[in-house]
Amino acid sequence: MKVLVATDKPFAKVAIDGIKKVVVAAGFELALLEKYTEKQQLLDAVADANAIIIRSDIVDAEVIAAAKQLKIVVRAGAGYDNVDLEAATAHNICVMNTPGQNANAVAELALGMMVYGVRNFYNGSSGTELLGKKLGIHAYGNVGRNVARIAKGFGMEIFAYDAFCPAHVIEQDGVTAVQSAEELYKTCQFISLHIPATAETKNSINYELLSTMPKGGMLINTARKEVINEAELIKLMEDRTDFKYLTDISPSHHDEFTTHFPGRYFSTPKKMGAQTAEANINAGIAAAEQIVNYILHGNDKFRVNK
Ligand code: 3PG
């Protein structure tokens, strides 16, 4: 059995060591494809792989078709919008994610970006504090919960909206559950996005929603760029000079944001949320264990293409 780790953005070495241990202990072989620059390199590497561990790497119908021996793909992370689930299902390939494994890392970055934003990108001028301010967590999954836990330490007043998570689950964390996204945005000066990119959420963060945010509004995006209606966010930031946007996923209109909104826009050059040794170890080793459990024991607990 050959397990391929195909990551454009490599895991920390310590995580690769851990993955290797799990794979070798099961009697499997490990192959590595890191920092590849051409899709063809991925197509070649998957040809004889029985299992693949990926991150945000694109596994589309072409990759699936090239992977003739493939049984399972594990996205070491939360969002699996980079995998063509239909193509995988059609080829009888199991797709899994590793929910929660990198959640704390992403949540710490979200709070770090908030501090960076309120301190005016550390430009030496007088900023503001997070203490006592209202934070809206948009989607209360694993990352959202960690954001709430850390934001409590900052003394923020925390609200959350999640279309699928019952209000009592949110409230038991000492977080106020609101009934709609509209209510969340109207209430909170700070919004932290944790929604996945789906047909329903793509482009859903728009002018109408953002324009209701209180003065000094700040949007933090450690989720996906696709959920933002970029043209409308640009229009909003033109109309509201108090508004800041900080993102861990470089927008398609990055240059336009940079030119038009100096001091109010920041993007990491490469997605950094899950890029810690701890998150790499957690997600990478969980992925390896899930592969071994699936191949040897048929355990498909984290399958997402049922
Ligand atoms: C996730 O969905 O888990 C995060 O977006 C992390 O993505 P990455 O593995 O590409 O850093």
For the chain, 306 residues long, give each residue's pLDDT as a single digit of tens. 999 999 999 999 999 999 999 999 999 999 999 999 999 999 999 999 999 999 999 999 999 999 999 999 999 999 999 999 999 999 999 999 999 999 999 999 999 999 999 999 999 999 999 999 999 999 999 999 999 999 999 999 999 999 999 999 999 999 999 999 999 999 999 999 999 999 999 999 999 999 999 999 999 999 999 999 999 999 999 999 999 999 999 999 999 999 999 999 999 999 999 999 999 999 999 999 999 999 999 999 999 998
Q: By the 8 A CB rule, do 220 and 193 touch?
A: yes
C-alpha 130 – ligand 1 centre gap (Å): 26
CA atoms within 13 A on the CB side of 231: 1
Q: Two tokens at 57?
A: 């790497």
Q: Give the residue from 133, 158, 123, 101 showing the smallest Cα distance to 278.
A: 101
- For residue 283, report the distance from its CA to the centre of ligand 1, in Å: 10
Angstrom distance (rounded) from CA 9 to CA 293: 25
Closest ligand 1 atom, CA of 79? 2
In whole angstroms, what separates CA 247 from the centre of its chain? 11
Domain with CATH 3.40.50.720 in the chain: 2-101+275-297, 103-267
* Neighbouring-strand partners of residue 191: 136, 219
Characterize the bridge pairing of strands 51-54 and 2-7: parallel
CATH superfamily, domain 103-267, is NAD(P)-binding Rossmann-like Domain (3.40.50.720)
Residue 167 is which amino acid?
A: A
Give CA–CA dist 111/222, Å, rounded: 10
Q: How far is the CA of 141 from the centre of ligand 1 (A)?
A: 14
Distance 272 CA to ligand 1 centre (A): 8
Find the residues whose C-beta lies inside 6 A of ligand 1.
Answer: 9, 55-56, 77-79, 102, 271, 273-275
From the candidate CATH numbers 3.30.1700.10, 3.40.50.720, 3.30.70.920, 2.30.30.280, the one assigned to the domain spanning 2-101+275-297: 3.40.50.720
